[in-house]
A and B are shown apart, each in its own frame.
Chain A
Amino acid sequence: MNPIARVFDHRVRGFRVIEVAALACLVLLVFWVYLSKARAGDERSRIAKVEAEISAEQRKVRLLTAEAAHLEQPGRIGALAEAYTGLAPVSAKREADPDALPEIARKAPAPAPAPAPKPVEPAAEETAAAPAGEEAQ
């Protein structure tokens, strides 16, 4: 008997070994497919949940954008600025180019003399001595 035929014909307690092995493989495969599908299902539901959340957030963003646009209506902002802050368009006389500043300074009345400096206290000296970078922090 050749070796291949022996493998196919070999029996243990009446069962062909090859058939038992194939069955075991099949069961393993089915189990593996089941596990994979179950895991993929979990992933899918997570993705679906996240996508639903994104969708809800997008809706909220759209709603808020529309609300912001509603609140920023030019007419409304203008009326509020007038009523509460007294803001108004700058008059032409108060507009100036950076280049024109020296000319404006020349025409402007000389500033009042600064008050005489007070004697410097030690605390103030310390503040002044602090490194410039500290202020930015």
Chain B
Amino acid sequence: MKPSDLRVQPPSFRWLAERVWSVEHAFERIKAQGRAEEDTRVRIFFVLAAFSFAFAILAFGAARAALFNGDGRAYGGAAAVASRADIVDRNGRLMAANLVHYALYIDPEEVWEPAATQRALLQALPGLSAERLRRAIEGERRTFVMGGLTPQDRARVHALALPGLSFEEEDRRVYPLGRTAAHLVGFTDSGGRGLAGVERALDEQIRDGGKAGKPVALSVDLRVQGALEDELRRAALNLNADAAVGIVTNVRTGEILALSSFPDFDPNAPGDSPAGGRLNRAASSVYEMGSTFKVFTIAAGLDSGTATVNSTFDATAPMKLGGRTVHDFHGANRVLTIEDIFIHSSNIGTSRLALAMGQQGMVRYFQQLGLLQAAEVELLESARPLVPRRWDENTLASASFGHAISVSPLALTAAMGAVLNGGEYVPLTLRKLDPNERPTGRRVLSEATSRAMLDLMRLNVVRGTGSKANAAGLRVGGKTGSAEKVIGGRYDRSRLVSSFAAVFPTDGPIDGDRYFVLILLDEPKGSPESMGQRTGGWTAAPAAGRVIDRIAPFLGVRRAADPYQTATGDKPPVVEEIIPGDETVAAEGGQ
């Protein structure tokens, strides 16, 4: 008896139930009845069902793929992703970019007239190697002939309408500014790997930026860079200097606003420049800086309490130290206060101050000012200093006025920043910082010492060796340096490294924006403009003054009067007693 007989069901369900049960019992029936053909039909039914199921899945998949395949990118010519990001200055102006160039290929089998093709190509592409072209045309298969072609080059070749020539796209790094900021930006190899400058220092960030399509912004201001380069080049050529370095930084943030090294090179063809041109002297050369180091010695002396601005030191006669004698260049031959020592750039006075501080004290300050290690900056070229193996009285006295220790201009710049920004050593950076960001540095000097040094540097420009840097109304302070070069183990008096370390504005809040300018000339020869002189006060200081005069508007520093000068550069109308450090008369500060 069948189970369906047990209950009363509507006709349609009965029909369906019967079919289901008949399938259920098919095998039993077949077995019972011994009917082979029934077995076959059931098998066919199962195979059919399996196939139907598979086709249903396929149909579903096909319909889904046809109707909901939304990703059309596979068809589109989407924008090519550059392998390296653009490099821009702090105002977004382009300094380096990857542009599509073209590589020319020749398939000799398709070339009809080899001689005419050679002639026409050489005329259209003057940089093409005739030998290479000949080999390609006479070869047997498609060959690369020339890369780095611009769209204009390609258009010229297309216009020849010659068969057998084809192009392939290639991504190439381009520096549209040419020699401007070349040392700072650096360059890459043909594979797009950074080899020098920012390209090498920020290689990873530039690659990531390229993937994300975001430019990498540097701390550099191209307007400041342009003015610095112009004045540096002018000074170097005018004074026939072997080399020159110029740096502009914001001492509050440590941002490098401009950096220039002369001679320079074109990063679009770095191989074409002599090696001397590619050398970034601001980072990778070390110099005995001379008297600019007195800034550090005097700051250390004031900060440690060894001396005050009014302390006196005997400079009546040259100082004998072991087998050598320390002389003064501008010999005052009298007892000098710290202020006098600074303004007259007295080697004797500075040596006596350093000796009074003692070896440990001085070396600790040099250490904290970062002068005994490579400058903290992203550039991998940053060179380690040459420091004395042993600090004795002799080397201590020498180092106090910038001999016996060679540092890179960037290391000097970073240390000067600490002296001039309120006393914190802030590492230099080439990355643009947020305007409200105040990088944390390590405290090296007290704010009072920093203020005293700003006043001393201002006085040195008003009354001392730095007077030629006194840009009207910009409250410039500074210190000259003229170091004899060591040639064959001896100081050569005829070869100087002349420099000027300037800061402006010297007034205003101690933690405000303040700018440091370094001009360094390697072996200036003297010119009619410098009255034949080669020292820092006659060569680097005027250049620094001109740079400051030009860049102040870009940096938002307005001309204003201070106790020593009116805003237009004249002497103050009423001569008052001038007290260094008295800010009541000082006009508005920097911004």
Whether B178 lies near A70 (C-beta < 8 A) is: yes
Q: Which residues of B contact A92 (CB under 8 A)?
A: 471-473, 549, 559, 567-569
Interface positions, chain A 42-56, Cβ under 8 Å from B, are 44-45, 47-48, 51-52, 54-55
Q: Mark B554-591, 1 if CB is under 8 A from A, else 0.
A: 00001100000001110000000000000000000000
User: How many B residues have CB within 8 A of the partner chain?
Assistant: 43
Whether A62 lies near B99 (C-beta < 8 A) is: yes
Q: Which residues of B contact A77 (CB under 8 A)?
A: 226
Main secondary structure of the interface of A (DSSP, over half): helix
A68 to B97, CA, bound (A): 13
Whether A75 lies near B66 (C-beta < 8 A) is: no
Q: Mark A73-112, 1 if CB is under 8 A from B, else 0.
A: 1110110000000000100110101000000000000000
Whether B66 lies near A33 (C-beta < 8 A) is: yes
Q: Which residues of B contact A52 (CB under 8 A)?
A: 76-77
Q: How far is the CB of A35 from chain B (nearest CB, A)?
A: 12
Contact of B176 among A33, A37, A45, A69 (CB under 8 A): A69
| Contact flag A74-B230 (CB < 8 Å), given A92-B472, A93-B568 | yes
A15 to B142, CA, bound (A): 65
Whether A74 lies near B223 (C-beta < 8 A) is: yes
Knowing that A66-B94, A66-B97 are A-B contacts, what are 13 other residue pairs whose CB atoms are under 8 Å apart, sorted by A's residue number? A47-B75, A54-B79, A63-B151, A69-B93, A69-B177, A70-B177, A74-B227, A78-B226, A89-B549, A92-B473, A92-B568, A93-B472, A93-B568
Most chain A CB atoms below 10 A, which of B12, B79, B100, B569: B79
User: How many A residues have CB within 8 A of the partner chain?
Assistant: 35
Q: How far is the CB of B384 from chain A (nearest CB, A)?
A: 33
Q: Which residues of A contact B569 (CB under 8 A)?
A: 92-93
A89 to B72, CA, bound (A): 56
| Contact flag A75-B229 (CB < 8 Å), given A44-B72, A52-B77, A95-B559 | yes
Whether B550 lies near A89 (C-beta < 8 A) is: yes
Q: How far is the CB of A71 from chain B (nearest CB, A)?
A: 9
In the assembled complex, 6 residue pairs joining A and B whose CB atoms fall closer than 8 Å, in A order, are A33-B63, A37-B66, A55-B79, A73-B177, A75-B226, A92-B559
Interface positions, chain B 55-81, Cβ under 8 Å from A, are 63, 66-67, 72, 75-80
Whether B15 lies near A2 (C-beta < 8 A) is: yes
Q: Which residues of B contact A37 (CB under 8 A)?
A: 66
Query: What residue of chain A has the Cβ atom nearest to residue B233's Cβ?
Result: A75
The answer to whether the Cβ of B180 comes within 8 Å of any Cβ in the partner chain is yes
Query: What residue of chain A has the Cβ atom nearest to residue B474's Cβ?
Result: A92
The answer to whether the Cβ of B382 comes within 8 Å of any Cβ in the partner chain is no
Q: Which residues of A contact B226 (CB under 8 A)?
A: 73-75, 77-78
Interface positions, chain B 465-479, Cβ under 8 Å from A, are 471-473
Contact of A47 among B63, B76, B568 (CB under 8 A): B76
The answer to whether the Cβ of A11 comes within 8 Å of any Cβ in the partner chain is no
The answer to whether the Cβ of A67 comes within 8 Å of any Cβ in the partner chain is yes
